[in-house]
Chains A and B, each alone.
Chain A
C-alpha cells in the first residue's frame, strides 16, 4: 500500500513556546489504515492533526520546518478548500465546532461550502445520517443533544464531505462509555465498509486497540514508536515507561508473562475477548 500521509523531518514550534511541539518527525501513514496516535498531554498529538489538515500553519503562528505530504502533495500546495476535501478533521469538543441552528444545517454546512448540487447533498445525507444514526436529531439544535450524539453529529458533518482521510482529535474525551462505544462503532463501519484512512488520537485504548492497524507513540514532540498494533504492545515496558497505560487485560497478561505464567513467545492479548480465550487455554492446559 502507498503512503497517503508522509511527514519528512517535520518540525513545528508555536511562536508562544520555546520547545517545538513536533520535533523533526518522520512518519508514514498508509492508505486505508486505521492509525491510533497516543501519548501524554502536550506530546504534540493535536499539532500532528492540525498539520495534516493545514490548520497549521494557516491558523496558528509559529515556525515550520520539513514537509507534510497528503496524497502526494505538500500540504501548503493545497488551497484550504482543496485540502478539506481530502482531510476531514473532528475536534475533541464537538460543541465548539457547531455553528448552525439545527443538526441538519450543521451536517450540510461543509457540503454547501464545497458547492455540491442539492441532489448530491441529499444523496450524501441519505448515506451519512443512517451511518452515524442521527436521523431523529435532524431538526434539533446540535448543542441540545447528548454528548455522544454531539460527537456523532460532528463526525457526520465531516464524513458528509467524503474526505478520503479522516483525522479525529480525541473524539471521545468528553463522552460517557456508551457515547464512546457508539463513536467507535461508526469508525468500525467506516473501516469495514469504506476502507477509509483514519487517524485517531485517543486516550481510551480499550476501544482503539481492536480497531487500529497501526499505533504511533508521540512523546514530547518525537515519534518514539510506530508499528503494527500487536508488536507495538509487545513493548509494553517501554510504553509504560512513557506514560502509556494499557487496558487492564494487556497489563494482566504482561504480568503473567513476567512471572513466567504465560508463554514468553506468545503475543499479549489486546482485547477482553482475546484475553478470555487465552486464559481459558491456560487454565484448560493446567487442568
Chain B
C-alpha cells in the first residue's frame, strides 16, 4: 500500500510520478481545469472529467481512500442543492410537476437544474482533491514563485500555512491543558460550549502573539526585511531545484488547448450544454416518461 504523508493541506503519497511535473503545471491544472465545469453544462461530460481525475489520482499513487474525507461534504452539498432547487425553488406553473411532497410541487425543470449544478460542482471538488493530494506546501510556494509572484507575498503565504499548523497544535495543547484541569464540555449544551470556548480563545490569542514576536525576531536575526537588502538581488535556491522542462511546457499547452477546445465547442458550436445532453434525455424519460 502506498505510504501517505500528512501535510497541512491534506495527505500526499510519499512518492508519485506526478511529482515529476513542475508544481506550476499542477497549479495551472487546478486553476484551468476547475473552470471546465463552469463552461460545460452536460452532466455526462462533467462526470467524465471526474473519471479523468480519478485516473490521474490512481496514476499519481494517491490513496483513493482519501476521497472518503470528502464524501460527507459532497453528500451534504448535493442535498442542499436539491432542496434549494426543488422544495425551496418556488412556484412555477409553467414547469412540469413530477410529484408533490406535503402539497409542494416538485418540478422536473428544477430537478434537472439541480443535477446540472451538482455535476458542475463535483468535478471541481475532485480537481481540488487531486491538487491537494499531489502538492506539498513547498510545491504551492514554488508554483507561486515560478509565476513571479513577489517573494514577500509567497513568504506571507508560507507563514500563513505554517501558522495554520501551529494554531492547530496550540489548540490541541490548550485543550489538553483545560481537560487536565477538569474542564470537560462533553455532553453539555451548544450554548455552554460556545461560552466556554472563550477559555480556548484567550490562551490561543496569547500564544499567537508570542509566536509572532518570536517569528519576527527569528527572521530579522537572519537578515530578512520586507524591502530586501539594498542593491542585492534575492536568489531563489528552492526554485532552482525545480527546473521547468519542455515536458512541462507541453503540458501547459495541452491544458490550454483543452480550455480553448471546450470554449469553442461550447460557444462556437453550441455543444456541451444541458440541452440535448444524454443525461437530460435520460432524466426526461425517467421522470416524465417522455411527456415533455
Given contacts A108-B237, A113-B223, A113-B229, contact A59 B159 (CB under 8 A): no
Contact yes or no, B234 A113, CB < 8 A: yes
Which residue in chain B gives the minimum CB-CB distance to A96?
A: B214
Which residue in chain A gives the minimum CB-CB distance to B221?
A: A89
Mark contacts of B159-179 with chain A using CB atoms, 8 A cut-off: 1 yes-contact digit, 0 otherwise.
Answer: 101100110000000000000
Which B residues, 225 to 246, have Cβ-Cβ distances below 8 Å to chain A? 225, 228-229, 232-238, 240
Q: Which residues from A are CB-within-8-Å of B220?
A: 55, 58-59, 80, 84
**Contact of A63 with B by CB under 8 A:** no
**Contact of A209 with B by CB under 8 A:** no
Which B residues, 190 to 245, have Cβ-Cβ distances below 8 Å to chain A? 211, 214-225, 228-229, 232-238, 240
**Contact of A185 with B by CB under 8 A:** no
> B interface vs A, CB < 8 Å?
136-138, 141, 155, 158-159, 161-162, 165-166, 211, 214-225, 228-229, 232-238, 240
Contact yes or no, B158 A99, CB < 8 A: yes
Q: How many angstroms from the CA of A23 to the CA of B159 in the assembled complex?
A: 37
> A interface vs B, CB < 8 Å?
50, 53, 55, 58-59, 80-81, 84-85, 88-89, 91, 93, 96-102, 104-105, 108-118, 121-122, 141, 143, 157-158, 161
Q: How many angstroms from the CA of A121 to the CA of B220 in the assembled complex?
A: 19
Q: Which residues from A are CB-within-8-Å of B234?
A: 112-113, 115
Give the one of A59, A101, A109 with max B CB within 10 A: A101
Contact yes or no, A114 B232, CB < 8 A: yes
Contact yes or no, A91 B223, CB < 8 A: no
Q: Which residues from B are CB-within-8-Å of A112?
A: 234-237
Contact yes or no, A161 B223, CB < 8 A: yes
Contact yes or no, A91 B236, CB < 8 A: no
Q: Which residues from A are CB-within-8-Å of B138?
A: 101-102, 105
Contact yes or no, A96 B222, CB < 8 A: no
Interface on chain B toward A: helix, strand, loop, or mixed SS?
A: helix
Contact yes or no, B229 A114, CB < 8 A: yes
Q: Shortest CB–CB separation between residue A150 and chain B, in angstroms?
A: 13
Contact yes or no, B222 A157, CB < 8 A: yes
Given contacts A101-B158, A113-B234, A115-B234, contact A80 B214 (CB under 8 A): no
Q: How many angstroms from the CA of A161 to the CA of B135 in the assembled complex?
A: 30
Q: Which residues from A are CB-within-8-Å of B137?
A: 101, 141
The 8 Å CB contact of A55, one of B159, B211, B217, is: B217
12 contacting pairs across A/B (C-beta < 8 A): A59-B216, A80-B220, A96-B214, A97-B221, A98-B162, A98-B218, A99-B215, A105-B238, A109-B222, A118-B235, A143-B165, A143-B166
Q: How many angstroms from the CA of A59 to the CA of B217 in the assembled complex?
A: 7
Q: Shortest CB–CB separation between residue B155 and chain A, in angstroms?
A: 8
Q: Which residues from B are CB-within-8-Å of A122?
A: 237
Contact yes or no, B235 A117, CB < 8 A: yes
Q: Shortest CB–CB separation between residue B227 and chain A, in angstroms?
A: 10
Q: Which residues from A are CB-within-8-Å of B216?
A: 59
Contact yes or no, A55 B221, CB < 8 A: yes
Q: Which residues from B are CB-within-8-Å of A97?
A: 214-215, 217-218, 221
The list of the 6 closest CB pairs from A to B, nearest first, reads A97-B218, A115-B232, A96-B214, A110-B222, A113-B223, A84-B223
Contact yes or no, A99 B237, CB < 8 A: no
Q: How many angstroms from the CA of A105 to the CA of B238 in the assembled complex?
A: 7
Q: Which residues from A are CB-within-8-Å of B224?
A: 109, 113
The 8 Å CB contact of A101, one of B161, B229, B233, is: B161
Contact yes or no, B223 A99, CB < 8 A: no
Q: How many angstroms from the CA of A112 to the CA of B235 in the assembled complex?
A: 6
Q: Which residues from B are CB-within-8-Å of A89?
A: 221
Q: How many angstroms from the CA of A109 to the CA of B216 in the assembled complex?
A: 14
Q: Shortest CB–CB separation between residue B11 and chain A, in angstroms?
A: 14
Q: Shortest CB–CB separation between residue A16 and chain B, in angstroms?
A: 13
Given contacts A104-B238, A143-B165, contact A91 B218 (CB under 8 A): yes
Contact yes or no, B237 A96, CB < 8 A: no
Q: Which residues from A are CB-within-8-Å of B218?
A: 91, 96-99
Q: Shortest CB–CB separation between residue B218 and chain A, in angstroms?
A: 3
Contact yes or no, B159 A99, CB < 8 A: yes
Q: Which residues from B are CB-within-8-Å of A114?
A: 223, 229, 232
Q: How many angstroms from the CA of A91 to the CA of B219 in the assembled complex?
A: 11
Q: Which residues from A are CB-within-8-Å of B155?
A: 99
Which residue in chain B gives the minimum CB-CB distance to A140?
A: B5
Given contacts A59-B217, A99-B159, A99-B162, contact A115 B235 (CB under 8 A): yes
Q: How many angstroms from the CA of A118 to the CA of B239 in the assembled complex?
A: 10
Give the one of A100, A158, A161 with max B CB within 10 A: A100
Q: How many angstroms from the CA of A141 to the CA of B8 in the assembled complex?
A: 10
Give the one of A50, A89, A109, A121 with max B CB within 10 A: A109
The 8 Å CB contact of B221, one of A53, A116, A117, is: A53
Which residue in chain A gives the minimum CB-CB distance to B232?
A: A115
